Amino acid sequence: MHPKRRAATHQHRRIRHYAKGTDSHGFFNLLTGPQLLDTVESLLPEHRERLFPPTQTLSMFLAQAMSPDASCQKVVNDTAVKRLVGGLKSCSTHTGAYCRARQRLPVEMVSTLCRQTGRMMTNAAPSAWQWKGRPVRLVDGTMISMSDTPANQQRYPQPRSQKPGLGFPLCRLVGIVCLASGAILDAAIGCYRGKGGDEQTLLRSMLSTLNTGDVLLGDAFYATYFLLCELQRRHIDGVFEQHGARKRSTDFSQGQRLGQKDHLIEIPKPKQKPRWMSQEQYDQAPPRLTVRELHCGGKVLVTTLLNANHTPKAELNKLYRSRWHVELDLRNLKCTLGVDILSCKTPDMAIKELWVYLLAHNLIRLLMSQSALLSDCLPRELSFKHTLQIWGAWRQCHDETDDVQVISLLLLIAEQRVGFRPGRIEPRAIKRRPKPYSLMTLPRPQARKKVAANGHPKRVK
């Protein structure tokens, strides 16, 4: 037998053997358990018996988010066909009723379900997935583009560097992600520019999501005095890359030496109070803060994990390298699921659409966690896109599943593993050339008039 086939056969036997002693629905039961169902019931708005009640509307909205063709027409067509096949009364393929049902869907219902599925998933994760027995949380932010409508522009204005009529509304998304399961525990959304839209402010609004004993990983945006003080007050440790301005002045010859380019230092409280902070909060902050600075992996890290014997330099370096997973999670959201550009025309619907995508992400992570549990591996070793494709094919063929079918589905998900490529570097460049058209430099109505008067411009060589 070929070595690869022999290895695959051995893996299948091991999964089936492990599944005999495991609840095959494990994480699946989180979606149908009484706790989550009670949450759904409490969040349902008052509604009449319609063609698209809230629960079915949310189900269709999720299917739309997970489909490569994320159009309203596609999901309505699928529903119409399923009703015919199931012997139900046929419904219209016009999208008006479904779009109105989406508008009636409360955004609080979707966001609460997203947070609760993330929390339940990370609570059900085994301790072997944690770091030194402690949960690790990742934080990062990204920009999301919206449809260019007056309503979206008013709520989420485009960058000032772009001329009116040529840019797109932008919102900022900051999320807290579980390193072990990949679940999104919470998210905050703000404007790209203006008061209250920066990553620090959005993170502060979600600090209640973190629990005592958690470890928070983030990039240099989060290595600030007052955030580190707040984390220490909540008995949460942080590991961040040192901010560039302070990194240039780091002197490892000062402070208490712990090792080569590893020391403890005391940072004085900034003399100027931040604009977002009240005078009372500023006065309550400690006058000095002890942190640990260390140079590893070509970066200077700052952390509140002060004990070098308990957390050696090599372990902190390995831990911080795992922060890259949040970048991959954002890529899965934006590129694999298609969150990069939201299609809804109003800001309220756009935010609701974004939360539906986040909930869809957690449901895919739910499948990956269950598959990893059965295959005795880590969820991060499985492919998000492969799981999404398997689930897309599965739900077209199965309405109801039993234990044997669930195990078979999870076995298929566990077959594809992501490559282990430490230190991988790829150029941020596009090899395939774009279409030979010039960039739009006028608002579309003016550009149409110019084309009508002078014809189309020549293609760019």
Query: pLDDT tens digits, residue range 157-174?
Result: 998 888 888 889 999 999
- Sign of the torsion angle spanned by Cα atoms 68, 333, 55, 24: positive
Nearest Cα to 201, choosing from 90, 275, 102, 124?
Answer: 275
What's the pLDDT band for 219 if we cut at 50, 70, 90? very high
**pLDDT at residue 32 greater than cutoff 60:** no
Which pair of structure tokens corresponds to residue 194? Answer: 């203006």
pLDDT value, residue 24: 33
pLDDT value, residue 430: 84
* Top-confidence residue, 460 or 301: 301
Q: Please compute the mean of the pLDDT values over residues 183-192 and round it to a whole number.
A: 94
Q: What is the mean pLDDT of the chain?
A: 85
Compute the distance between CA of residue 1 and CA of residue 8 in angstroms, rounded to an integer. Answer: 11
CA distances from 52 to 100, 203, 440 (A): 9, 36, 40
For the ranges 66-80, 168-182, 408-422, the one whose mean pLDDT is highest? 168-182
pTM comes to 0.87
**Across the strands, what pairs with 176?**
139, 186
Q: Please compute the mean of the pLDDT values over residues 197-222 and round it to a whole number.
A: 93
Q: Please compute the mean of the pLDDT values over residues 16-38 and round it to a whole number.
A: 46
**pLDDT at residue 346 greater than cutoff 80:** yes
For the ranges 48-52, 214-218, 387-391, 403-407, the one whose mean pLDDT is highest? 214-218
Within 8 A by CB and 6+ apart from 84, the residues are: 90
Nearest Cα to 112, choosing from 204, 211, 212, 41?
Answer: 41
- Is there a contact between 387 and 413 (Cβ–Cβ < 8 Å)? yes
Query: pLDDT tens digits, residue range 429-451?
Result: 888 888 888 888 888 888 899 89
Give percent of the chain with pLDDT exceeding 70: 86
pLDDT value, residue 234: 95
- Sign of the torsion angle spanned by Cα atoms 97, 101, 102, 103: positive
- Is there a contact between 349 and 152 (Cβ–Cβ < 8 Å)? no
The single residue listed with the structure tokens 């379900």 is: 113
pLDDT value, residue 4: 53
Give percent of the chain with pLDDT exceeding 90: 49
Nearest Cα to 376, choosing from 13, 32, 25, 118?
Answer: 13
Query: pLDDT tens digits, residue range 263-317?
Result: 999 999 999 998 888 899 999 999 999 999 999 988 999 999 999 999 999 999 9
Compute the distance between CA of residue 395 and CA of residue 384 in angstroms, rounded to an integer. Answer: 17
pLDDT value, residue 162: 85
pLDDT value, residue 435: 81
Q: Please compute the mean of the pLDDT values over residues 317-324 and round it to a whole number.
A: 93
**Across the strands, what pairs with 262?**
259, 294
**pLDDT at residue 18 greater than cutoff 50:** no
What's the pLDDT band for 26 if we cut at 50, 70, 90? very low
pLDDT value, residue 431: 86
Q: Please compute the mean of the pLDDT values over residues 56-65 and round it to a whole number.
A: 87
**pLDDT at residue 95 greater than cutoff 70:** yes
